[in-house]
Each structure stands twice: as C-alpha cells, then as structure tokens.
Amino acid sequence: MISKELLPKHIGIIMDGNGRWAKLRGLPRQAGHKIGAKTFRKVVHYCNQIGIQYLTVYAFSTENWKRPQEEVRAIIELLREYLIDAPNHKDENVQVQFIGDLSGFDDDILKLIADCEEESCQFTGMHLNIAINYGGRDELVHAFRAMNRDIQAGKLNPETVTEATVSDYLYTKGQPDVDLIIRPSGEYRLSNFLIWQSAYAEYVFMDRILWPDFNESYIDKALEEFASRNRRFGGV
C-alpha cells in the first residue's frame, strides 16, 4: 500500500472497454456497460477507503450520443438506477457531483441528480465527480461563454483574467487539478477528458485490461507507478 503522503489528491479514470468486453463474450454491448457499472461502484468504494480526496470518472461523453440508440438508452437507464440507489449508500460518506452539460437529460434524471447532489453535499469523505455528457472542449466553451457574460455585465475585468480565473469557471471549480489519469483498454489518448485540469497529470495506460475486469489491484498498480515518477512541473 502506498503511503498517504504519496497518494494523488485527484484521480481521473476513463472507464473504457465495456463494449469490447461484451463482444469478446458474444454478448450485447449493454451487458458490458452493466458489468462496468458494478466495477465503477467497487472502484469508488476502494478509492474512498484508501484516502483519495477527489475522483473524476468519465461516464458518458458528448460524443457518445452518436452510438446506437439502444446502447445510449441502456447507459442512461444504468445512470437512472445508480441515482435511485444512491441514498442506500449514505454510509460511504462520498460527496457526489455531476459535471457536464446536463440539459440534454430527461426531467426525472435531472431531479434525481439534484437530489443526489443535495443529499451528499455535506458528506466529508471523497468528492466524486461523475462526468456525463461531458467533453473537455465543451467545458471550456461553457466557461468562456460564462466569462464573457460576466465581462459584458461588468463583473469581470478581462485584463485581470488569469489561469486561476479560468479554473473558477470550470465544472470543477474549487477542486485541485488532476494528478493521475488512468485508462484501461489499450487506448493511449485523453479523448477530450479534463483537458484543462490535466495539464500536469501523470498518465497510466493499461493495455491488457478492459473496464469490466478492472479491480482494486489495478488501482494499486497505477498508484505505485504514480509514486515512482518525478513530478517537476516544468522545473528541474
């Protein structure tokens, strides 16, 4: 086990490989997402248990709407099930926040999201960001539009804008930047995930594991790799 001093404060995980996992077993892609949802719960529990302060998981991107509608509906139904079940996990003490453009979801989903965030806002354990209908570029566009509105209203002087100012307009306002990003499934790219927040993140790509088979041991391996790296942040 890595000592708490060497743990990253903020981990991002790209939960990738559900569809391929199902295809390898001759199952519909929806089956992979269902098992992947169970993996998500295990990983959240473990990260909270070992003392990770912030965890952001990439659940549904702005590009995922292009997938077959049957698959999209299955993913949204899993989200609905998670939200309905969330009150049963109060003892985990995890504060939950949903990041992304939520405007595209049905009213019942939005109500469940609001309830989940409100009920967990006073929890003092790990802060969990669930990125749905999220894209890093879309987040920046959202931030710049909000900044422009405040400039037009005289609330913000453009000459005083700094990197910290931009961060304050992101979905992750008030949170530390990502220290470590983990991506299983053999893909070696960021896929529009936390573009601004991951400027100095360490990346751990795992090419022999798909998300439904991901478990606590892979978190440990990623943490060991993170602890072995020399993070200079542009210095020497």
For the annotated binding site, the residues are: 16-21, 29, 33, 61-63, 65, 67, 183, 189-191, 202
What stretch of H or E contains 83?
helix 69-85
Q: For residue 134, what are its two tokens?
A: 């999220």
Whether 16 is catalytic is yes
CB 210 within 8 A of CB 18: yes
Pick the catalytic residue from 48, 64, 179, 213.
64
Whether 177 is catalytic is no
Q: For residue 47, what are its two tokens?
A: 């990260």
Question: How far apart are the C-alpha atoms of 142 and 171, rounded to whole Å?
Answer: 9
Question: How far apart are the C-alpha atoms of 218 and 201, rounded to whole Å?
Answer: 18
Question: How far apart are the C-alpha atoms of 16 and 6, rounded to whole Å?
Answer: 26
What stretch of H or E contains 59?
strand 54-61
Q: For residue 143, what are its two tokens?
A: 């931030």
Q: Which residues are annotated as a binding site for substrate?
A: 17-21, 29, 33, 61-63, 65, 67, 183, 189-191
Pick the catalytic residue from 16, 48, 129, 179.
16
Q: Which residues are annotated as a binding site for Mg(2+)?
A: 16, 202
Question: How far apart are the C-alpha atoms of 29 and 139, rounded to whole Å?
Answer: 28
> Residues with catalytic annotation?
16, 64
